[in-house]
Chains A and B, each alone.
Chain A
């Protein structure tokens, strides 16, 4: 046995150990990444799942004409401004008699959400015969009550509710007159200062309008640019310059696009702030590089034989592209566009710059109404001090992630179904 072989044999154990260690590092790295992913999702779902349900209390409400202070039941104006909160207060006092002092009364009235009165108004507007009748109703509870109800027995001790309020809630619970119901307002309302009334519908509509503007602008422009660069552009300095620009724009921080929107689109062209139209334009500029790059890849994937066959039959360059290359590349382009849209849907920073952070209660009705978008709504709620907003924020994140997952799944599905391998 030679000396070298001897040496190698001696070092083998160490080298194999190093080999195993190296492999273990690799597994640990993947494990870390996946663990972070799992932690992120469990944390969000753990915090957010409770927000899909909220507390309601059951009470006997009498639509009393004197308390409501209305003369004519058919007068919409009067009905609109009647004292519905008074009805709820009466019902609460009837339920817990013997409450005196101002402080105690305020605590009692605080059990029910300030928005519950509007529901009574809507009921009465719907069915005016209710006047003077007594009905058993589920009324939306205040968010502090909601937090208390959802908390475990240990956390209940730390609740910011007063002792009286805790007793009252436990009375409701004992009578079975307090229950968690599906959180309708989350999917029907705009933003609100009251967590139990706040919803994401306004933000979802804002996101929808912004995305429509983005798609309508970025897809045609991106496809046209990709066709030009792949099929028509001469090989010269100008074309190179365009390519360098596209590649760089793909890596420019998104907040810079916000500065562009603020200075040029709002400052120079005088477009209004906080509207989805401007947001859509800014996001278009941001997603264009992604769409151009993926569209070019899709065009490149069309085999040259298709072009040659078309040309051989006498088609012009433009006809080759529009009649043959484009239809074949379209599925790939669509996939790229959906991925670009998913990116734009999750984008926040540039929209902060163009003023889409305003507190907007009304659900926007078009791309020119002031609105906010889903990620910005998440940012706004994450800043709110009330405890209930943490759950609401997580719920909004779950909705946003659902949209993103759906879009990406659609992209993968399209790629599998439509994309042809040559």
Chain B
């Protein structure tokens, strides 16, 4: 039976368990004189029975699905005669793939050795046996659970408390998914990075000036050694982010100041959401705009004044990325500026300062920590931005700070290294995870500092 159908059946069984529990609570209540003599409402007895049906069965199903592939693989490999058993892990994988293909019918059974054909047949047998056994076990567990829940129903039972406890635990588990995600991210990048640093020394990665991750795929292939010095990537990322911030910070800040301090309510009601549309446009659209519209324009402008501009210049990507993060800066700055107490403004204006003087000398210093926090968040956004640079910045790892040349970034390299066809454990793919680790650490630090500043600042005026 397929897992999807099994799940559907399980849902029906859970509904059945609910119904049985509901009926039993009424049956038990009748001789006592109505449901008010029960400890809990019939709903809770029914829910309790349904939970007893669902949770053990789902737990068994989940554990089974996690382990069955590994078990089947071990059993198939164990059934192979000793002379065809492969020596190392990669040829074992190849053999397993071949067996799998024969079993699926992708390769005809008469094209392979008899041992493989026999193993494929065994694989098919095991698979059908496995799904049968899974269905039987899950259904039996669900029935046993239902029966147990049903039998235990009694007028004194504290069903409501038990059901609420289960629900609360479920809610807590949902909340811990955030922790699990962080742990998962850390584990996945750390694990592969450690393997990468086993092949390439960390000092070379962090301080090397040469990035050309082309390594030989086969041992006999003629290819360059592959250099994994990530400094050009870091520099490229910083260059593009700096251009973006040079655009976004002045524009975002001034728009926030204008909207918060000068704009009539009607202008504010129109301009604020209009600017926020910029944040809602998907980054792939900005990438397309940067690569096909902005970059050619910049190139032509440069040529008309006699400058040599690369067709994938850092300037184009940076400018468009700057436009993208304007709303981040402006809405965060707007929040902190409006949070500055009105008393400060009134005092300054009352002493005869003009509005711009009030803003520059009083409001801006008061709001500065919050604004700094916003800028740091915008910087972390710029560093982690992927699609704009993938589409508009180049692949060439040039060590330069000239915005008219092509540079590449950390995110571009992660995408290029991981979207081709390659072995999962080559230095090339592992390098992507090492870059991911760098990216994660950098953005995490920026975020922690920024959130800390913003939070501290908020408390100041609350």
B25 at the interface (CB under 8 A from A): no
Are B281 and A401 neighbours in the complex by a CB distance under 8 Å?
yes
Point out the residue from A16, A221, A318, A349 that lies within 8 Å of B164, measured CB to CB.
A318
Inter-chain contacts of A316 with B (CB < 8 A): 160, 164
Give the CA-CA distance A96 to B334 in the complex, in Å: 68
Binds B, one of A65-73, A80-88, A298-306, A340-348: A340-348
Instruction: Considering the complex, give the chain A residue whose CB is closest to the CB of B383.
Output: A253
Q: How far is the CB of A372 from chain B (nearest CB, A)?
A: 12
Are B283 and A33 neighbours in the complex by a CB distance under 8 Å?
no
Are B175 and A259 neighbours in the complex by a CB distance under 8 Å?
no
Are A28 and B287 neighbours in the complex by a CB distance under 8 Å?
no
Give the CA-CA distance A376 to B283 in the complex, in Å: 11
A254 at the interface (CB under 8 A from B): yes
Residues of A contacting B: mostly: helix
Decide: A260 near B181, CB < 8 A? Known: A29-B254, A318-B164. Answer: yes
Inter-chain contacts of A159 with B (CB < 8 A): none
Are B274 and A34 neighbours in the complex by a CB distance under 8 Å?
yes
B295 at the interface (CB under 8 A from A): no
Instruction: Considering the complex, give the chain A residue whose CB is closest to the CB of B278.
Output: A37
Give the CA-CA distance A316 to B172 in the complex, in Å: 18
A contacts with B, residue count (CB < 8 A): 86
Decide: A28 near B69, CB < 8 A? Known: A252-B384, A348-B283. Answer: no
Are B384 and A44 neighbours in the complex by a CB distance under 8 Å?
no
Inter-chain contacts of B221 with A (CB < 8 A): none
Inter-chain contacts of A36 with B (CB < 8 A): 278, 323, 326
A262 at the interface (CB under 8 A from B): yes
Point out the residue from A246, A251, A256, A404 that lies within 8 Å of B280, measured CB to CB.
A404
B427-462 to A contact mask, C-beta < 8 Å, 1/0: 000001100100110011001100100000000000
Binds B, one of A112-120, A173-181, A226-234: A226-234
Binds B, one of A54-62, A136-144, A188-196, A284-292: A284-292
Instruction: Considering the complex, give the chain B residue whose CB is closest to the CB of A400.
Output: B282
Are B292 and A37 neighbours in the complex by a CB distance under 8 Å?
no
Point out the residue from B171, B189, B327, B383 that lies within 8 Å of A227, measured CB to CB.
B171
Which interface class (under 10, 10 to 19, 20 to 34, 35 or more) fits B? Answer: 35 or more
Point out the residue from B189, B285, B327, B385 that lies within 8 Å of A40, measured CB to CB.
B285
Give the CA-CA distance A275 to B332 in the complex, in Å: 37
Q: How far is the CB of B181 from chain A (nearest CB, A)?
A: 5
A263 at the interface (CB under 8 A from B): yes
Are A224 and B262 neighbours in the complex by a CB distance under 8 Å?
no
Which chain A residues numbered 330 to 352 have a C-beta less than 8 Å away from chain B?
Answer: 342, 345-349, 352
Contacts A248-B451, A252-B447, A317-B164 aside, 9 further interface pairs with beta carbons under 8 A come to A26-B259, A29-B251, A37-B278, A44-B285, A256-B185, A345-B282, A348-B386, A397-B285, A408-B280
7 closest cross-chain pairs (CB), A and B: A253-B384, A26-B258, A346-B282, A263-B188, A29-B254, A22-B356, A224-B174
Q: How far is the CB of B258 from chain A (nearest CB, A)?
A: 3
A310 at the interface (CB under 8 A from B): no
Are B69 and A23 neighbours in the complex by a CB distance under 8 Å?
no
Are B439 and A256 neighbours in the complex by a CB distance under 8 Å?
yes
Give the CA-CA distance A410 to B4 in the complex, in Å: 33
Are A251 and B377 neighbours in the complex by a CB distance under 8 Å?
yes
Inter-chain contacts of B14 with A (CB < 8 A): none
A406 at the interface (CB under 8 A from B): no
Decide: A242 near B179, CB < 8 A? Known: A40-B281, A40-B285, A253-B443. Answer: yes
Which chain A residues numbered 1 to 38 have a C-beta less than 8 Å away from chain B?
Answer: 8, 15-16, 18-19, 21-23, 25-30, 32-34, 36-37
Are B419 and A357 neighbours in the complex by a CB distance under 8 Å?
yes
Point out the residue from B252, B254, B354 that lies within 8 Å of A28, measured CB to CB.
B254
